[in-house]
Amino acid sequence: MRYIKTILVILVGFCSSCDNYLDVVPDNVATIDMAFKMRVTAEQYLFTCYSYLPSDSHVALNPAIYGADELWHYADVYPGVQIAKGMQGKGSPIMDYWSSSSARMSAPQTGSLEGTFATNSLWQAIRDCNIFLENVHRVKDMDQFEKDRWIAEVKFLKAYYHFYLFRMYGPIPLMRENLPITSDGEEVLVSREPVDVCVDYIVQLLDEAAADEKLPLKIEDRTTELGRITLPIVLALKAKVLVTAASPLFNGNTDYADFVNIDGTNLFNMTNDPEKWEKAATACKEAIDISHAAGHKLYTYNLNINAPNVSPETFIKMSIRGSVTSRENPEVIWANTRNATGSLQREAQARLDGGAANASIVGRGMAPTLKIAETYYTKNGVPIEEDKTWNYESRYDLRLSTADDRFYIMPNYYTASLHFDREPRFYGSMAFDGSVWYGQGRFSEDDPWHVEAKLGQYAGGPPGGNRYSITGYFPKKLVNPLNTYSATSAYVIVEYHWPIIRLADLYLLYAESLNELSGPSEEVFEYLNLVRARAGLESVEESWTQFSKNPTKYQMKSGLREIIHQERTIELAFEAHRFWDIRRWKTAINELNAPVYGWNVGQSDAKYYYRPRLIFNQTFRLRDYLWPIREYDIIVNKNLVQNPGW
Amino acid sequence: MKTIFKFLFLIFLSFLSFTLSAQQKQISGEVTEAGTGNALPGVNITVVGTTRGVMSDSDGKYSIQASPNDKLVFSFIGMESQIIDVGSKTAIDVQMMEVSQELEGVTIVAFGQKLRNKEVVGSVTTIRPDELKVPSSNLTTALAGRLSGVIAYQRSGEPGQDNAEFFIRGVNTFGYKVDPLILIDNLEVSREDFARLTTEDIASFSIMKDAAATALYGARGANGVILVTTKQGRDEAVKVSIRIENSISSPTRNVELADPITYMRLHNEAVITRDPLGSRPYSQEKIANTIEGTNPIIFPITDWKDEMLKDYTMNQRAHLNISGGGKIAQYYLAGSFTQENGILRVDGKNNFNNNIDLKTFQLRSNTNINVTPNTEIIVRLSGVFDDYTGPINGGTAVYRNIMRTNPVLFPPVYPVDEAHEYITHPLFGNYGDGNYLNPYAEMVRGYKNYSRSTMTATVEFKQNLNFLLDGLRMNGLVSTSRYAFFDINRYYSPFYYQVLPGSYDRKTGKYAIDVINPLDGTEYLGYSEGPKDVSSVFYLQTMLNYDKVINKKHRFGGLLIFMVRNRLEGNAGSLQLSLPYRNVGLSGRATYSYDDRYFTEFNFGYNGSERFYKTERYGFFPSFGAGWTISSEAFWPEDQPVSKLKLRGTYGLVGNDQIGSATDRFFYLSNVDMNSAGRRGIFGEDRGYSRNGIFVTRYDNKDITWETSRKMNLGIDLGLFDSKIDIIADYFTEYRYNILMTRSSIPTTMGLTASSRANVGEASSRGVDVSVDVNHFFNPQFWLTGRGNFTYAASKYEVYEEPVYPNSYSSRVGYSLSQQWGYIAERLFYDDAEVNNAPRQTFGSRPAMAGDIKYKDVNGDDQITSLDQVPIGYPKTPEIIYGFGLSTGFKNVDFSAFFQGSARSSFWIDAQATAPFISHTYSGESFGGINLQNQLLKVYADDHWSEENRNAYALWPRLDDQVNSNNSQTNTWFMRNGAFLRLKQVELGYTLSKSVISRLKIQNLRIYLNGTNLASWSAFKLWDIEQAGNGLGYPIQKVFNLGVQLSL
């Protein structure tokens, strides 16, 4: 018995220490509380909030680059191209910023995923912003001044993420505060809120961010802080939000009369409210004023040290190119520093010689469409079909260039008449078969690069079936002129930061708002002409009066609207604006229901090459104005209604 | 914990009773061996409850002082101990029975306990280790169809990667741990270690299936338990046993490819049929010249399979064991060696071997030492060592690469011409920029070495506590094992060559080749290291065991086990994973049987795991069982066919703590990545200022706990015709609850970065397993045995966290756990007009065209989305596995054949991996910038939709030279029935007759020839059906094996 007792005691002793034995976790395991203990980790959290900024410079992550009718690609690999081809679907939406790829993974349905490009759900971004706002007060080793700045930045980001979703999906649920993870049932089944409520909330957040000058007017320490939110950024976004809200898609859009929430409330307002344009105009003016105060101005070319003198033609071309790609660019109000532009630039860069060094590195297929090439004005600053002096009918005929064209087209080269006598922005933004490509290591105007793009020529296609421009055009505007191209060594890229908002954009938004509000006026022309002047064009009034077949077009509200729309398309071409603009203008149904043309790139002879070739017949349906919400999300949340038509 | 423990001990103590009195007298007698009648010297005779003891002398005689109330214990190594009441006797003669390791009628159950077959009420399958012999170094390949209750299948034949998947009674949970707990000599081992076990070393092999059999393993036994014990030495003369085998293996079936001419033609067709403006990859000239065979260098036709693979390979195995011992110590020493080779070719210019060469060495030493008559110490040492040489990315990658290389672009190597006479490296072929995959170069350009070892040391201590209480024994075991793995790759970068464009002179046939990548290639070897893997396990177990028969009819048994397990990972990868893995458990068993007719038992496991929060840490898992041997009843008539009939039933709970995924630990803690590059913020002119972000990868949940299984088993044991036919049949049901699941009710608008989870899932399963044994001796020279097994296990989702689907077929509930959901393929589209009018099918980037698969719009919303996916086919895991075989012997010749089959499963042809001309990468692979081009299967070439032949029911849809997501959706078009029957093994043996043997002074010599996977029957012909969807991988092997077995 004694032995048994001993054994018993030993065994029991073992077991009482069992609990300790199983407690293997030390105390300092990382938990979310750790994030707000010190400034260093709180800064990491601030950066986390920034990290969700959509990668707008990434051709596969920004639907607006390829998604409309500006740029095309020989393959269907990019989600933007898939959207442009009408392949959007609700099963697994393309470019789904609503449900992240990780959220999809955990979904029990195991069917393969169509639009599996890795994007983070912006709802995660909003949740992180809310966590930051709820907890940042707990950080001990920070002064209030800095906390206030960070809070204002995160409020801005929260507004931007809501806006990004709003622009895609229309009315959305608003995540004003985080719901606790443990909450269950009805509480988490949020429903969409009407358009006006969404806009008001986004504006409210932006107002809070802008209040009391907690944000700097401009970034002083550009080496560590460029990319952080400033006051002009907040006001510029506010202007953009209000212009979007005032635009026909969201302002009295009766197409959505039947679009109601689960409880029957209308998600779209049914009556056009002109006051929204007033709000928009005020916000634009405010944003422009503060941008000016911060030193923002339209970009003009800083002469390259290697070429201290250039012709006026080249100067304007370089001003156009630099307005996007220049690193020291006073025009850019907000640029995304998180994402590099290297792959985008390689995508846009045409092959400039036959050397093998760069054959597979550049020229990866970004191709402006013939339609956009025809949208640029003539050298007289009016549309090609309106210019009295320009032969519109024979624009596809071949024409031999002369020495007079040497800043734009290599002399003695046959190319389409379309490529002659155009405005400088055409030559600054696009490259084509026979065009001059200044920069990229060659800064002498006597010996610049040029492009030869017919079949068998070095920039032409298709070499081995891929890496060519399917239209024969190249978006030169997106390539930094300082990148060096060489026949013998690899392409060297000088990164720039992808501009999300630049001053010309604001000028045009302001002009648009004023025109919508009260029709043509001096102020409308003033801002429109600022943009045209930089592009080397005469004023709207002068150009139309002198050269247009419709000389009084600019004097009417609707005529001027057309002019502003075209000006915007030209000025902001390839910068992923048109995709959203034609949606908010509700013109996409016309613009995107048309064939996409390019040159006949499979031909080596100019005679055959310069025949427009049908690439794709685009179709755009009403439902395409708004993204589909993934079907599974609708199933999970019965309070969430699907967008019309999906 | 403490209170339960005390309570249990009181129950335990209540079994004990003590009576002591003193009236000493002299008792004497003789101990003899049963059967022979020989006197047994050295037998221990002790008085129970005292330390008094004597030993029998050289004539087997003894004498000892004892009182009438005393009991004497007679014990001798290798013999069964006997306990005899003294009573009024003064002379006690005893006959001792030999204990055999494989003693007929004993079943090894949980924790290595021996139960007489009669006593078993749970569901335990045992098998003679001989039956698991296969000509392979992989034990897992022998399981299918041999053991009732086991669902098993093998998907690959690559040495070292050919483990079969096996589950006990199917897969009944949707967590990550679905396979059984595997124990060798009570120590948990990995599947890999189990696979390497040599059958010769196995003394017993048991599979425990129901709650009563597994409850002792508490929180770890829910998926069933496999228990193996290894052999021990005996008190006998030295015995040496040797087995040597040599085998030839070759693939059971090879995938047939289209000829290169067809390949080119159809590749052209694939491009043009999708894009009439597309450029044809092959010119008419190239095709014509290739047909003519003008110049095999300029117009190559490369049969990559032929160039890279041999038809067969040879493997060797040897095993040696020595056992024996004396009264004080016995030993069992075994060593084995196997070498398995792949069927890959080696380039003569390399001096290294890139073929698969897997050598496995094993050493095992079990030593038993009798310290005192009542105390035994067992020391077990074992080591398993794998040394591997093989291709850098493994054999499966070699096969897969062959399947995605263009057959007409270049030869594997160019013949050395004058200009390259002095070059020592192979002139590997390539094309264009040298960016094409040359699988031959890829295979021979280097080799991988890996080394894996597991070493285990165990000390077991057995103490007979008869002196305390008659029938009480104690057992302690301490063990530690170390696992280590590392691998190294050595390789060069191939120099690629191509024919210089324009250098080919048609008339003379002359051409020039030149290197494509003079800067990238190397002749010297580069080097890379893989991850190292090291871990250690510590295990401690103490056990008290009580067994007592009172009045010859009442048999009591008791068992109490305490165990502690600690595992450490040396390179876990994260803080939380690096923390020790621990289990603590207390288990017990109480049995009572009456007259070997009525049996009852109660088992429990009480376990703790470190994974859960304090309040959820311990689980209590009880089970009950009862049995009734009807045939032992007095009323059971003697003379009738049914000689044995026993009914059994058990019911109870078992747990599973390995839920979620292997990397999920400490569910009660949140897991935060404080340094997440994915959440990085970047600022500054040169993007020079950045900080990594913070990212929650798991939200805490303190409520998460075990998954529990409620099991019920009803069994019947039937012996017919004097046990010439033995049938064991079990019907089981299982209900698994508290299965960890992702909450699906949380919409994405919540913005959670990790899924939230809870123990909400429930699943049930039921099934039958039956085994039938037939033994018949026609005469001593001629015998026949047959054995058949049948296992049916079907599972079902009972509660599954999912949103409320608008259609019932989208819900998992009611379907098998391995049910596949997919689209219903109606047929191929007739024409483009039909495509435009049919419900929209938008999959991937290729718009659907005529000849693509048309899916059924099940919910009628005019779009094909995931809501149109319905349950299709049988489950992916077979629901039925069966096997049957026959052995017969006549005089010195023996013959056996074994068939194995599987039914009620579906599999899917991988429509992307087999899609011709496209570039396909398997998940986890990366081919930076290398062009892959799938080969064309012959069956696809013969039967596909084309514009000329618009067959809406063709095997393959309209050709495409790019990934076509429309056609590669999981759908019924590529679904196949996985049922098959195969002739698994045939063996012919010859045993040398006694007269010859005695002349040779050996004990036994048998020569045998066997064949494995010789034939199979199924409707599926593309590849070996057991590989299912993995058909382009390393094929399953057919093996012919010649062996010699020798005992000295």
Mutate to test the interface with A, among B695, B804, B855, B866 (most CBs of A within 10 A): B866
Calculate what percentage of chain B has a pLDDT beyond 90.
Answer: 35
- Is residue B103's pLDDT more than 80? no
Burial of A444 (0-12, 13-18, 19+ CB in 10 A): exposed
Residue among A260, A173, A490, A329 nearest B685 (CA): A329
Closest A-chain CA to B666? A25
The reply to whether B969 touches chain A by the CB within 8 Å rule is yes
Can you tell me the distance from the alpha carbon of B605 to that of A612, in angstroms, rounded to the nearest whole number?
80
Taking only the tens place, the pLDDT of each residue in A598-639 is 999 888 899 999 999 998 889 899 999 999 998 888 888 989
User: Which residues sit opposite B713 in a β-bridge?
Assistant: B650, B732
Q: Work out whether strand B757-779 and strand A398-400 pair parallel, antiparallel, or are unpaired.
A: unpaired
Rounded to the nearest angstrom, the minimum Cα separation between A119 and chain B is 11
DSSP state letter for B814: T
The reply to whether B4 touches chain A by the CB within 8 Å rule is no
Size of interface A-B (CB pairs under 8 A): 266
The reply to whether A181 touches chain B by the CB within 8 Å rule is yes
The reply to whether A618 touches chain B by the CB within 8 Å rule is no
Alpha-carbon torsion (B929, A495, A460, B965), positive or negative: positive
Taking only the tens place, the pLDDT of each residue in B1007-1031 is 999 898 999 999 898 898 988 888 8
**8 Å CB contact between B946 and B274:** no
- Quick check: bond before A462 cis, omega within 30? yes
SS3 B83: strand
**8 Å CB contact between A586 and A419:** no
The reply to whether B507 touches chain A by the CB within 8 Å rule is no
Contact criterion met (CB < 8 Å) for B970 and A112: yes
Taking only the tens place, the pLDDT of each residue in A334-369 is 998 888 888 899 989 998 887 767 777 888 789 999
Contact criterion met (CB < 8 Å) for A128 and B866: no
DSSP state letter for B819: P
Spell out the alpha helix ranges (H) of A457-539.
503-518, 522-534
Q: How many CB atoms lie within 10 A of CB A605?
A: 12
The reply to whether A490 touches chain B by the CB within 8 Å rule is no
The reply to whether B803 touches chain A by the CB within 8 Å rule is yes
Element (H or E) spanning A429, and its range? Answer: helix A424-429
Can you tell me the distance from the alpha carbon of B233 to that of B242, in angstroms, rounded to the nearest whole number?
16
Contact criterion met (CB < 8 Å) for B748 and A4: no
| Out of B279, B576, B753, closest to residue A29 by CB | B576
Alpha-carbon torsion (A74, A77, A79, A84), positive or negative: positive
SS3 A250: coil
- Which residues in chain B have Cβ-Cβ distances shorter than 8 Å to A632? 803, 866
Residue among B698, B674, B697, B669 nearest A34 (CA): B674
Rounded to the nearest angstrom, the minimum Cα separation between A4 and chain B is 9
Mutate to test the interface with B, among A6, A12, A15 (most CBs of B within 10 A): A15
| Out of A98, A185, A338, closest to residue B681 by CB | A338
Element (H or E) spanning B623, and its range? Answer: strand B618-629
User: Which residues sit opposite B988 in a β-bridge?
Assistant: B895, B1009
SS3 A471: coil
**8 Å CB contact between B950 and B435:** no
Show Cβ contacts of residue B338 under 8 Å, excluding neighbours closer than 6 positions. Answer: B137, B315, B316, B317, B318, B358, B359, B360
Higher local confidence (pLDDT), B271 or A464: B271
Can you tell me the distance from the alpha carbon of A554 to that of A563, in angstroms, rounded to the nearest whole number?
7
Taking only the tens place, the pLDDT of each residue in A202-248 is 999 999 999 988 999 999 999 999 999 999 999 999 999 999 999 99
- What are the Cα distances from residue B1047, in Å, to B102, B239, B241, B992, B1042? 18, 7, 4, 12, 17
Number of residues that this document lists for chain A: 646
Closest B-chain CA to A189? B747
Burial code of A529-567, b = ≥16 C-beta within 10 A, e = fewer?
A: bbbbebbbbbbbbebbbebbeebebbeeeebbbbbbbeb
CA-angle at B842, arms to B837 and B843, nearest 5°: 140
Show Cβ contacts of residue B70 under 8 Å, excluding neighbours closer than 6 positions. Answer: B47, B48, B49, B85, B86
Specify the pLDDT at position B11.
Answer: 44
**8 Å CB contact between B522 and B473:** no
**8 Å CB contact between B1026 and B154:** yes
Can you tell me the distance from the alpha carbon of A347 to that of A356, in angstroms, rounded to the nearest whole number?
17
- Which residues in chain A have Cβ-Cβ distances shorter than 8 Å to B810? 109
Q: What share of chain A is helix, strand, coil (3-state, %, to 5)?
A: 45, 10, 50
Determine the distance from the C-alpha atom of residue B363 to the mean position of all C-alpha atoms in its chain, rounded to a whole number. Answer: 22
Contact criterion met (CB < 8 Å) for A103 and B802: no
DSSP state letter for A347: H
- Roughly how many angstroms between the first and final C-alpha of chain A, as a whole number? 80
The mean of the pLDDT values for chain B is 86
Closest A-chain CA to B279? A465
Closest B-chain CA to A172? B749
**8 Å CB contact between B290 and B261:** yes
Question: Which residue in the block uniquely carries the two structure tokens 């389409």?
Answer: A416
Residue among A176, A158, A160, A150 nearest A41 (CA): A150
Alpha-carbon torsion (B104, B107, B113, B118), positive or negative: negative
Show Cβ contacts of residue B52 under 8 Å, excluding neighbours closer than 6 positions. Answer: B46, B64, B65, B66
Taking only the tens place, the pLDDT of each residue in B745-801 is 788 888 888 878 888 899 999 999 999 999 888 887 888 889 899 999 999 999 988
Rounded to the nearest angstrom, the minimum Cα separation between A367 and chain B is 18
Q: Please report how many Cα atoms fall inside a 13 Å half-sphere around the Cα of residue A119, on the Cβ side.
A: 26
Contact criterion met (CB < 8 Å) for A108 and B812: yes
Band the pLDDT of A119: cuts 50, 70, 90: low
**Would you state the torsion angle of the CA atoms of residues B146, B150, B155, B157, taken in this order, to the nearest 10 degrees?**
-40
Contact criterion met (CB < 8 Å) for A44 and B688: no
Spell out the alpha helix ranges (H) of B860-1001.
938-942, 994-1000
The reply to whether A635 touches chain B by the CB within 8 Å rule is yes
**8 Å CB contact between B208 and B300:** no
Question: Which residue in the block uniquely carries the two structure tokens 């000025």?
Answer: A571
The reply to whether A89 touches chain B by the CB within 8 Å rule is yes
SS3 B386: strand
- What are the Cα distances from residue B394, in Å, to A99, B160, B162, B495, B921? 37, 10, 12, 22, 15
Can you tell me the distance from the alpha carbon of B848 to that of A560, in angstroms, rounded to the nearest whole number?
43
Q: DSSP assignment of B108-164, as one string? A: EEGGGEEEEGGG--S-EEE--GGGG--SSS-GGGG-TTTSTTEEEE-----TTS-PP
Residue among B54, B48, B44 nearest B74 (CA): B44
Across B235-239, B272-276, B536-540, the highest mean pLDDT is recorded for B536-540
Can you tell me the distance from the alpha carbon of A437 to that of A428, in angstroms, rounded to the nearest whole number?
9
Can you tell me the distance from the alpha carbon of B222 to that of B169, in angstroms, rounded to the nearest whole number?
11
Alpha-carbon torsion (B939, B942, B948, B952), positive or negative: negative
User: Which residues sit opposite B526 in a β-bridge?
Assistant: B491
Taking only the tens place, the pLDDT of each residue in B33-90 is 766 667 777 788 888 777 777 888 878 888 888 888 788 888 776 677 777 888 777 8
- Is residue A100's pLDDT more than 70? no
Residue among B72, B79, B80 nearest B467 (CA): B72
User: Which residues sit opposite B603 in a β-bridge?
Assistant: B589, B623
Among A17-21, B249-253, B284-288, B451-455, which is the least confidently predicted range? A17-21
**Residue type (1 letter), B556:** F
Band the pLDDT of A258: cuts 50, 70, 90: very high
DSSP state letter for A260: B
Mutate to test the interface with A, among B614, B749, B756, B841 (most CBs of A within 10 A): B749
| Out of A46, A173, A227, closest to residue B749 by CB | A173
**Residue type (1 letter), B762:** E
Mutate to test the interface with A, among B702, B706, B750 (most CBs of A within 10 A): B750
The reply to whether A180 touches chain B by the CB within 8 Å rule is no
- Which residues in chain A have Cβ-Cβ distances shorter than 8 Å to B965? 112, 114
- What are the Cα distances from residue B895, in Å, to A365, A430, B248, B899, B956? 69, 83, 20, 14, 45
Q: Would the pTM of this model clear 0.80, i.e. be above it?
A: no
| Out of A35, A124, A224, closest to residue B694 by CB | A35
| Out of A85, A189, A327, closest to residue B747 by CB | A189
What is the pLDDT averaged over residues B105-133?
Answer: 82
What is the pLDDT averaged over residues B654-669?
Answer: 83
Taking only the tens place, the pLDDT of each residue in B950-1006 is 999 999 999 998 888 899 889 999 999 999 999 988 999 998 887 887 888 888 889
Taking only the tens place, the pLDDT of each residue in B185-221 is 988 888 888 888 888 899 889 999 888 888 888 888 8
**Chain B stretch 870-909, residues whose beta carbon is closer than 8 A to a beta carbon of chain A:** none
- Which residues in chain B have Cβ-Cβ distances shorter than 8 Å to A99? 748
